[in-house]
Chain A
Amino acid sequence: MTGMMPLLIVALLIWAGVFVFMLGVDRKVSALERRLGLDDDSRRVSAKENSL
């Protein structure tokens, strides 16, 4: 069991890297969507404006 420890640490480091990268991309995409008015809040507002 302890022989697997180095492999587990490598696997966890790889996963942590992927996870942090995904969170970073998610944040950037959200920021771009907000800037372009493509996020859910902006769409809800424009739908309301259209209905008025």
Chain B
Amino acid sequence: MTKVAKYILGLGMAGILAYIFLVLPPAQGFVAPELARIVALHLPNAMIVMVASFMAAAYGFRYLTRGRNPLDDAKSKVAAVLAMLFCLLTTVTGAFFAKVQWGAYWNWDPKQTCIFFLLLIYAAYFLLRSGIEDPEKRAAVAAVYILFAGVMTPMLGYFVPKQMPSLHPKNAGFDASYNTAIWTTTALLLGLFAWMQSLGVRSERIKLALDARDEER
């Protein structure tokens, strides 16, 4: 990521935060219409979880099918870390929304329950990785598991909760400006995700290079 892109991202995110908190109109049909604007931060985070999980699964698949490159495993792992991070951010912003609109941080609503399972799935991925010592075996098992997580993410994040009655608003009174805010935030978060992914992969490459040097000695 170039220096200019980083500063555009920094200023853009500050700008969209100002837009969300100062310009967005209150959403009608909510207990606290002013605070419904949290949605403009909550939804984009959830979309990044999807992107990160697909990326993790794609690199896992590539690892299994294209010559077992340790860098593909590293890329898959970094994307999985970011999927979990954005999943946590989605949960936290969602919990604040739940507190102001429904009176409690946690209501065991189908979407909340599903995201809880999703967090468990990603936590299990890291447990699995830490439980296998042989790097090649670890990478292969992790790649298979992350394919499963990649399928479960849209299932638990979108399709399953959609079939159940939920506290989550279906036809909420959001102004059209909410769409602008949500999509702009998603684009900026995608930029942040790309930056984090590249940083993570670069540090994994450093680790691989150091390991290779140690083996040579």
Contacts and interface: CB of A to CB of B under 8 A. Distances in A.
The answer to whether A and B interact is yes
B72 to A, nearest CB: 17
Nearest to A22: B195
B194 to A, nearest CB: 12
Interface residues of B, number: 21
B202 A33 contact: yes
B18 interface: yes
A7 interface: yes
Contacts of A22: 6, 192, 195-196, 199
Contacts of B206: 29, 32-33, 36, 38
Q: Is the interface of B mostly helix, strand, loop or mixed?
A: helix
B192 to A, nearest CB: 8
Given A4-B34, A11-B17, A19-B10, A29 B209 contact: no
Contacts of A15: 10, 13-14, 17
Given A1-B22, A8-B18, A36-B209, A25 B199 contact: yes
Contacts of B199: 22, 25-26, 29
A48 B202 CA distance: 22
A37 to B, nearest CB: 9
B180 interface: no
B34 A3 contact: yes
Interface in B177-217: 192, 195-196, 199, 202-203, 205-206, 209-210
A41 B135 CA distance: 30
Interface string B1-39: 000001001100110011001100000000000100100
B21 A4 contact: yes
Contacts of A4: 21-22, 34, 37
8 contacts: A3-B34, A4-B22, A4-B37, A15-B13, A22-B199, A29-B199, A29-B203, A33-B202
